[in-house]
Amino acid sequence: MGRPPCCDKIGVKKGSWTPEEDIILASYIQEYGPGNWRAVPTNTGLLRCSKSCRLRWANYLRPGIRRGNFTDQEEKMIIHLQALLGNR
């Protein structure tokens, strides 16, 4: 018993996302919100696994994601907290 697989694995596109797919996914999430990820590929027509859609949104397309290096203040805070707390 368990959850059924999210897709058939047949006809599912793998590899790099195209800018068109990014636009489709972002516009769908903007309209309906991040929620039922299993419905995203069927409702948008994307030939992607629902897990792939969720990870693309969470790791690349979500609006509050910051890219780049840490600021000096952030780096000092990380070093301070590591010294204070260790690897907890």
Q: What is the rounded distance in angstroms from the CA atom of residue 8 to the CA atom of residue 49?
A: 9
Give me the pLDDT at residue 66, please: 87
- Closest by CA position to 56, among listed 32, 13, 12, 26: 26
pLDDT of 43 higher than 70: yes
Domain boundary assignment for the chain: 19-85
Overall average pLDDT of the 73-81 stretch: 95
Q: Are the CB atoms for 44 and 17 separated by under 8 Å?
A: no
Give me the pLDDT at residue 1, please: 64
pLDDT of 82 higher than 80: yes
pTM: 0.73
Between residues 84 and 10, the one the model is more confident about? 84
CATH annotation of 19-85:
1.10.10
